[in-house]
Amino acid sequence: MGYPESMRQSIKTLEETREFRLNQKIPLLNLDEKNQLLREFHPDYRPGVHREILVGVNKGDNAVGELVDLLEASSHVDPESIDVNDIFLTVDALVIGAGGAGLTAALFCSDQGANVAIATKLRLGDSNTIMAEGGINAAISPGDSPTIHYLDTMGGGNFTNIPELVRALAIDSPFCIKWLEDLGVPFDRDPDSDLPLPLLVGGHSRPRVCSVGDFTGMSIIQILRAEVEKRDIRVLDFSPAVDLILDENGKCAGAVLMDLLTETYQVVQAKTVIIATGGIGRLHIQGFPTTNHYGATADGLVIAYRAGARLGYMDSIQFHPTGTAYPDQLLGLLVTEVCRSRGAQLVDVSGEQYINELETRDVVASANVRQVIGRKKGITTPSGMQGVWLDTPLIDIIHGEGTVRRSYSHIYLRFKRYGINFSKEPVLIYPAEHYQNGGIITDDMGRTNIPNLYAAGEAAGGVHGRNRLGGNSLSDLFVFGRRAGMDAGNRCRDIHIGKLTLKHLKQYHQELKGVGIENNLTSPVLLPDYRFEKAFPKFQQ
Ligand SMILES: Cc1cc2nc3c(=O)[nH]c(=O)nc-3n(C[C@H](O)[C@H](O)[C@H](O)COP(=O)(O)OP(=O)(O)OC[C@H]3O[C@@H](n4cnc5c(N)ncnc54)[C@H](O)[C@@H]3O)c2cc1C
């Protein structure tokens, strides 16, 4: 298939300016310039995209409208018609979600001698984590330190991050790299020192991101999955949690799962529950395509909120600057940030580079939107999508023939299937919804405001403030998956569960009614609906 003639013309223009651009250095923006760009072009700043939450702990706060819709829907579970004393399984710790955070939490929890079960919506390991391309951050290179990692992360989040969480992230990340290496994760290595070779990506002041080619998440999940399978950890797959169970004292005491095969409910009683359900990309915030896997539908946020857990930063979404815009079959799929850090430039229809590629993601995404919408300098595809070029052939020109195929073999093959040679031709990209910056608020051990309920990974919020730096999500999920797992595993010895109840659901439904919200919607979503006309949403730009 390859590029149609209409797009080829623009590739010619790009090629004509390549030699000039090779030596061009666009300076980083100053704080005022950044803020102005964000205000004018970042999708978070568009009018009408946030709504007030009218019920629950965060009443009065604003969040993205698509999430508020779910918070205003009713539970799948009718609290009157389900018997919570009909218990299917009793464990010390129930981990909800089987991506990086869930598997890590389960392993560290079981290390403490706890009897652990994992309930997951799809199969063990189906997640955003398995799709991670770029890598995981840790201050391990000469000249780096946890203090510098802390400062970069705070700066990247515009100093809105929760400091004690950032502290934990920066201090524990090197340990997590060591743990993963000891389990067998084959990080790309420095040939001289034989240590993992960290690379520099946007917003970091030191090389810090450790990768396994462009399939870091796949390598990690394969190993963690095998580790879980070796242990006595019960796995309930195709069994999403649809609500939490509290005990009569308001402490978390388990969850109601839905068996997707039989569509029946199962009650799991647990002394501690760890929510590790990941992100919200499949809600397609503002109609953006997404980089996320099919299960990323905000379920953990919804069930935690109904039980009384506090959320934070839910008006802040990360749009990754380089989601694929052509061909349509790859819409939204990620082209890793590491390509930019190795020299791939962003180029518009006139062949001009317009932003320093190592700015933070919020800034680069906004610059891409400005180029397409504000300055009308995008490239249009046959189906009407627009985007800008990522000039990936520069990587081989700078680092030597074969670098792209060696370092980005996964992405290379993905484009090859559609007749595009990622090492010789640029690829068309546009921001895609990538990450929820916020989530369930926790302390530095992953504990929420509900006793015995934890959250870790992308479902938790606060460590990244209003903008996450590349590579910091994987660090986050290992650091806090580990901390939550250890704490839950340790504490469950002393926990005594009272009578199980779903009283909180009744109260929540009454509160909705009290403010006049009555609709036929149920949440969590569980799986996105792409049937019929929904299969061809008109993605917004
Ligand atoms: C394509 C892509 C590339 C990325 N690359 C990087 C990178 O290089 N570096 C980086 O730092 N970050 C990266 N990120 C972000 C990072 O991968 C994610 O933020 C992170 O993996 C989230 O981990 P998690 O364990 O919290 O959630 P996930 O890995 O998404 O796992 C969530 C799990 O919960 C399950 N689940 C959902 N709802 C329910 C429910 N109701 N009941 C039970 N289970 C449920 C899901 O099925 C899944 O198993 C990338 C993200 C994507 C999408």
With a CB cutoff of 8 Å and minimum separation 6, the contacts of 510 are none
Ligand 1 atom 14: the closest Cα is on which residue?
132
Q: Is there a domain that residue 481 lies in?
A: yes
Residues 176 and 283 in one domain: yes
Q: Check if 76 is active-site.
A: no
Pairwise CA distance, residues 57 & 309, whole Å: 7
The interaxial angle of helices 472-491 and 100-111, nearest 10 deg, is 30
Residues 441 and 347 in one domain: no
Report the SS3 class of residue 334: strand
Pairwise CA distance, residues 303 & 246, whole Å: 12
Query: Beta-carbon neighbour count of residue 127 at 10 Å?
Result: 32
Is 318 a pocket residue for ligand 1 (Cβ < 6 Å)?
no
Is 334 a pocket residue for ligand 1 (Cβ < 6 Å)?
yes
pLDDT range class, residue 499, cuts 50, 70, 90 = very high
Is 458 a pocket residue for ligand 1 (Cβ < 6 Å)?
yes
Q: Is there a domain that residue 524 lies in?
A: no
Mean pLDDT over 511-517 rounds to: 96
* CATH code for the domain of 121: 3.50.50.60
Distances (CA, A) of 82 to 66, 271, 528: 28, 20, 26
Q: In the prediction, which pLDDT does 89 show?
A: 98
pLDDT at 68 over 90: yes
The secondary element (H helix, E strand) that includes residue 237 is none
With a CB cutoff of 8 Å and minimum separation 6, the contacts of 507 are none
Q: In the prediction, which pLDDT does 202 show?
A: 85
| Contact present, 239 and 119 (Cβ < 8 Å) | yes
**Whole-number mean pLDDT of the chain?**
95
* Closest ligand 1 atom to Cα of 334: 1
The CA 141 to ligand 1 mean position distance, Å, reads 26
Tokens of 413: 């093959």
* CATH code for the domain of 404: 3.90.700.10
Of 42, 167, 306, 340, the active-site residue reads 340
The CA 1 to ligand 1 mean position distance, Å, reads 32
pLDDT range class, residue 540, cuts 50, 70, 90 = low
The domain boundary, picked from 387, 406, 433, lies at: 433
Distances (CA, A) of 215 to 212, 321, 403: 6, 19, 15
Residues 353 and 495 in one domain: no
Residues 227 and 192 in one domain: yes
Is 223 a pocket residue for ligand 1 (Cβ < 6 Å)?
no
Residues 110 and 251 in one domain: yes
The domain boundary, picked from 381, 406, 433, lies at: 433
Is 471 a pocket residue for ligand 1 (Cβ < 6 Å)?
yes
Is 135 a pocket residue for ligand 1 (Cβ < 6 Å)?
yes
Residues 244 and 208 in one domain: yes
CA-based nearest residue to 355, from 31, 27, 16, 22: 27
pLDDT range class, residue 194, cuts 50, 70, 90 = confident
| Predicted TM-score (pTM) above 0.85 | yes
Q: Is there a domain that residue 47 lies in?
A: no
Is 58 a pocket residue for ligand 1 (Cβ < 6 Å)?
no
Q: In the prediction, which pLDDT does 193 show?
A: 83
pLDDT at 30 over 80: yes
DSSP, residue by residue, 42-85: -GGGSTT-EEE--SSTTTT-EEEHHHHHHHTSEESS-TTT--TT
Q: Is there a domain that residue 535 lies in?
A: no
Choosing from 123, 128, 273 the residue with most ligand 1 atoms within 8 A of its CB, the one to mutate for a pocket test is 128
Residues 17 and 104 in one domain: no
The CA 17 to ligand 1 mean position distance, Å, reads 38
Mean pLDDT over 432-446 rounds to: 97
Residues 356 and 278 in one domain: no
Q: Is there a domain that residue 518 lies in?
A: no
Q: Is there a domain that residue 538 lies in?
A: no
pLDDT at 231 over 60: yes
Q: How many CA within 13 A on the CB side of residue 365?
A: 28
Report the SS3 class of residue 95: strand
CA-based nearest residue to 429, from 536, 538, 294, 331: 331
Q: Is there a domain that residue 63 lies in?
A: no
Query: Beta-carbon neighbour count of residue 537 at 10 Å?
Result: 12
* Closest ligand 1 atom to Cα of 459: 26
Pairwise CA distance, residues 63 & 68, whole Å: 6
Residues 323 and 424 in one domain: yes
pLDDT at 190 over 90: no
Choosing from 219, 228, 277 the residue with most ligand 1 atoms within 8 A of its CB, the one to mutate for a pocket test is 277
Q: In the prediction, which pLDDT does 6 show?
A: 93
The CA 112 to ligand 1 mean position distance, Å, reads 25
pLDDT range class, residue 532, cuts 50, 70, 90 = low
The domain boundary, picked from 398, 433, 468, lies at: 433
Residues 420 and 442 in one domain: no
Residues 12 and 160 in one domain: no
* Closest ligand 1 atom to Cα of 435: 19
Pairwise CA distance, residues 508 & 56, whole Å: 7
pLDDT range class, residue 534, cuts 50, 70, 90 = low
Pairwise CA distance, residues 299 & 276, whole Å: 10
- What is the domain extent for residue 361? 5-41+319-433
Q: Is there a domain that residue 526 lies in?
A: no
Q: Check if 417 is active-site.
A: no
Ligand 1 atom 9: the closest Cα is on which residue?
471
The number of distinct structural domains making up the chain is: 2
With a CB cutoff of 8 Å and minimum separation 6, the contacts of 196 are 140, 177, 181, 187, 188, 189, 190, 210
Residues 362 and 465 in one domain: no
Ligand 1 atom 2: the closest Cα is on which residue?
132
pLDDT digits (tens, 9 = 90+) for 110-123: 999 999 999 999 99
Of 320, 342, 482, 509, the active-site residue reads 320
pLDDT at 356 over 80: yes
The CA 128 to ligand 1 mean position distance, Å, reads 3
Lowest mean pLDDT among 151-160, 194-203, 406-415, 486-495: 194-203
Is 435 a pocket residue for ligand 1 (Cβ < 6 Å)?
yes
Is 291 a pocket residue for ligand 1 (Cβ < 6 Å)?
yes
pLDDT at 1 over 90: no
Mean pLDDT over 226-236 rounds to: 96
The CA 423 to ligand 1 mean position distance, Å, reads 28
Is 211 a pocket residue for ligand 1 (Cβ < 6 Å)?
no
Choosing from 127, 188, 319 the residue with most ligand 1 atoms within 8 A of its CB, the one to mutate for a pocket test is 127
* Closest ligand 1 atom to Cα of 472: 11
Is 411 a pocket residue for ligand 1 (Cβ < 6 Å)?
no
Q: In the prediction, which pLDDT does 16 show?
A: 98
